[in-house]
Chain A
Amino acid sequence: MSTFIQQLINGISLGAIYSLIALGYTMVYGVLKLINFAHGDVYMVGAFMGYYLANGLGARGAQMLGMDSDGVVARGLLGGGAMEPSLITALVVMLLAMAICAALGVVIERLAYRPVRKYSRLTALITAIGVSLLLENGGQVVFGADPKFFPELFTKQNIDLGGGVSVNSSDIVVLVIAVALMVVLQFIVYQTKTGKAMRAVSFNLTSAKLMGINTDRIIAFTFALGSALAAAAGVLVAIRIPRIDPLMGILVGLKAFVAAVLGGIGNIPGAMLGGLLIGITETLVVGYLSPTYKDAVAFAILILVLLFRPSGLLGSVAQEKV
């Protein structure tokens, strides 16, 4: 029983990360009816931004940017000794990585998707695959193809919950941060004027325009929001398992996409739920069946969803979508 609870906590923590990424797929789908295949790679870029922010660009990187190698950014928050490993450091690194990826998301939308918006959806889909390949290969060139090891942002420890259950503090931190981000997102989407506009755009683009909504700006904002969450997921994942590489976004991106479909693509609570379910199932399968099936779980779920409930768990019940 104690192992089960431990596995469950692991699964929820992993699932919360999938949820964060799935939210980006679902929100962009909501406003553009586009599956943004590059989204998983934005998550990868987020992890690398976190890595460089924490570790520093190194002497060569600093020279390339023409910066004083003593500069805080050039040396990194930890590498330059500007900050000690702590929760605050983790938060600062995460927030900065989020800001960078939000900008990246806006640039991708502006340069790649907006110009093809007037053409067919297939054109947009192919463009998305192109952006994805660009980020993956560009990542290998810029970051190097070999895996990097993320520094410890805060000191991890095992917490004894009693009854033989002990969890790693990183799982708790990841979970708490992910939930906090989702609460903030929920607030933005349902309580702010911009969130209202996002929902209007997802319901009916033409009507949204006729209300006086600057739909281009709302679409860009949606990309910023989704990409920031993906970057947060990238940093959080590295807190759990500190090995990152330029192709890390492919599989995780696909799993998060499955999570979005499972919850009902376009549906925000659905993406949160879908991510959790995939994370929990995956962890339990690895724990009780065999680690061999780790990556097959999500795709088995995808096939089942497509067969039995193509609209996803929350897709047709609550039609609320963004």
Chain B
Amino acid sequence: MLTLENISVSYGAIRALKGVSMHVEQGEVVTLIGANGAGKTTTLRSITGLLAPTEGRILFEGAEISGKPTHQLVARGISMSPEGRGVFANLTVRENLQMGAYLKKNKAEINRDLERGFRMFPRLKERESQKAGTLSGGEQQMLAMARALMSRPRLLLLDEPSLGLAPLVVHTIFEAIDEIRGEGTTILLVEQNAHAALKHSDRAYVLETGRIVMEGASKELAADPRIKEAYLGE
């Protein structure tokens, strides 16, 4: 479904990605783990067209998408809950969700998707008309995920959805990830919480200073001594 062929990305003189290749197949949950500054966010930003790779190609459902503007990729079925959540602080929870359906025209369908988001995260329903800026970090994360789903993506990118959240909320977020995959949405999950990410995914890539250094089935990686030492703290 998604293929990255040897992509490199630079910020001025800094080369953040140095020839990254990876792929995500239809229906999979794939996780990308790595330390701070490894290039995880950069990878997701290139997939969504927020950054243009200097080398390499990105293919989505067989078509090259590198260099395409973000709004076209959203229309093609890619959606992202970004690092830092990026909720519209001055809009209410409901308005944020409606914004997620910007490209959708069918009102009834939008309302059904809204209800689905509220079912997935009942906390959001309670805060429906509250300004998003006044939500707690966990609630903002739920909102960012629910909003990303409003465009009915076939590929959902999640950038550190559990960052800085209390264990109970982390649990809610990962339950939601399971639920989303159960509905048939393909997920690429960036996480520093390697333990949970490996538990809730099929395959994993490990990124270190802009290079993929390991890849494989999540179960196997979780048992690998090098991963245990570096990312699972065992």
Using a CB–CB cutoff of 8 Å, the interface residues on chain A facing chain B are: 193, 196-197, 199-200, 203-204, 206-207, 209-216, 319-321
Question: How far apart are the CA atoms of A320 and B88 in the complex, in Å?
Answer: 11
Q: Mark B84-103, 1 if CB is under 8 A from A, else 0.
A: 00111111000000011011
Shortest C-beta distance, A220 to chain B (Å), equals 14
Interface residues of B in 57-116 (CB under 8 A from A): 69-71, 74-75, 79-80, 82, 86-91, 99-100, 102-103
Instruction: Verify B71–A212 contact, CB threshold 8 A.
Output: yes
B196 within 8 A of A: no
The listed residue (A199, A211, A319) touching B74 by CB distance below 8 A is: A211
Instruction: Verify A214–B69 contact, CB threshold 8 A.
Output: yes
| A193 nearest in chain B by CB position | B102
Instruction: Verify A212–B88 contact, CB threshold 8 A.
Output: no
Instruction: Verify A320–B69 contact, CB threshold 8 A.
Output: no
B151 within 8 A of A: yes
Known: A203-B90, A206-B82, A320-B90. A212 touches B102 (CB 8 A): yes
Contacts of B86 on A, CB cut-off 8 Å? 204, 206-207, 210
Q: Which of A200, A203, A211, A320 counts the most B-chain CB atoms under 10 A from its CB? A: A211
Known: A211-B100, A212-B103. A203 touches B70 (CB 8 A): no
Extra 12 A-B pairs, beta carbons < 8 Å, given A197-B102, A210-B80? A196-B99, A199-B91, A203-B89, A207-B88, A210-B50, A210-B70, A211-B100, A212-B71, A212-B75, A212-B151, A215-B71, A320-B90
Known: A211-B100, A212-B75. A319 touches B90 (CB 8 A): yes
Shortest C-beta distance, A240 to chain B (Å), equals 36
Contacts of A213 on B, CB cut-off 8 Å? 71, 102
B48 within 8 A of A: yes
The listed residue (A199, A203, A210) touching B79 by CB distance below 8 A is: A210
| A318 nearest in chain B by CB position | B90
Shortest C-beta distance, B73 to chain A (Å), equals 9
Question: How far apart are the CA atoms of A199 and B49 in the complex, in Å?
Answer: 22
Contacts of A319 on B, CB cut-off 8 Å? 89-90
Per CB-CB distance, the 5 closest pairs between chain A and chain B, nearest first, are A212-B74, A207-B86, A209-B70, A212-B103, A211-B102
| A207 nearest in chain B by CB position | B86
Shortest C-beta distance, B177 to chain A (Å), equals 18
The listed residue (B82, B89, B90, B91) touching A210 by CB distance below 8 A is: B82
Contacts of B88 on A, CB cut-off 8 Å? 200, 203-204, 207
Interface size of B as a range: 20 to 34
The listed residue (B71, B87, B151) touching A207 by CB distance below 8 A is: B87
Interface residues of B in 34-60 (CB under 8 A from A): 48-50
Shortest C-beta distance, B18 to chain A (Å), equals 23
Contacts of A215 on B, CB cut-off 8 Å? 71
Shortest C-beta distance, B10 to chain A (Å), equals 14
Question: How far apart are the CA atoms of A206 and B75 in the complex, in Å?
Answer: 16
Instruction: Verify A209–B90 contact, CB threshold 8 A.
Output: no
Question: How far apart are the CA atoms of A200 and B99 in the complex, in Å?
Answer: 8
Shortest C-beta distance, B109 to chain A (Å), equals 15
Instruction: Verify A214–B82 contact, CB threshold 8 A.
Output: no
| B133 nearest in chain A by CB position | A319
Shortest C-beta distance, B70 to chain A (Å), equals 4
Question: How far apart are the CA atoms of A1 and B200 in the complex, in Å?
Answer: 77
Shortest C-beta distance, A205 to chain B (Å), equals 10
Question: How far apart are the CA atoms of A239 and B91 in the complex, in Å?
Answer: 40
Shortest C-beta distance, A119 to chain B (Å), equals 12
Contacts of A210 on B, CB cut-off 8 Å? 48, 50, 70, 74, 79-80, 82, 86, 148
Contacts of A209 on B, CB cut-off 8 Å? 49-50, 69-71, 74
Question: How far apart are the CA atoms of A196 and B103 in the complex, in Å?
Answer: 12
The 29 sampled A-B contact pairs (Cβ below 8 Å) are: A193-B102, A196-B99, A197-B102, A199-B91, A200-B88, A203-B88, A206-B50, A206-B82, A206-B86, A207-B88, A209-B49, A209-B50, A209-B69, A209-B71, A210-B70, A210-B74, A210-B80, A210-B82, A210-B86, A210-B148, A211-B100, A212-B70, A212-B74, A212-B75, A212-B151, A213-B102, A214-B69, A215-B71, A319-B89
Question: How far apart are the CA atoms of A129 and B182 in the complex, in Å?
Answer: 55
Contacts of A214 on B, CB cut-off 8 Å? 69, 71
Question: How far apart are the CA atoms of A157 and B26 in the complex, in Å?
Answer: 74
Question: How far apart are the CA atoms of A215 and B151 in the complex, in Å?
Answer: 17
| B81 nearest in chain A by CB position | A210
| B78 nearest in chain A by CB position | A210
Question: How far apart are the CA atoms of A232 and B19 in the complex, in Å?
Answer: 54
Question: How far apart are the CA atoms of A231 and B182 in the complex, in Å?
Answer: 55
Contacts of A321 on B, CB cut-off 8 Å? 90
Contacts of B48 on A, CB cut-off 8 Å? 210
Shortest C-beta distance, A261 to chain B (Å), equals 20
Shortest C-beta distance, B51 to chain A (Å), equals 11
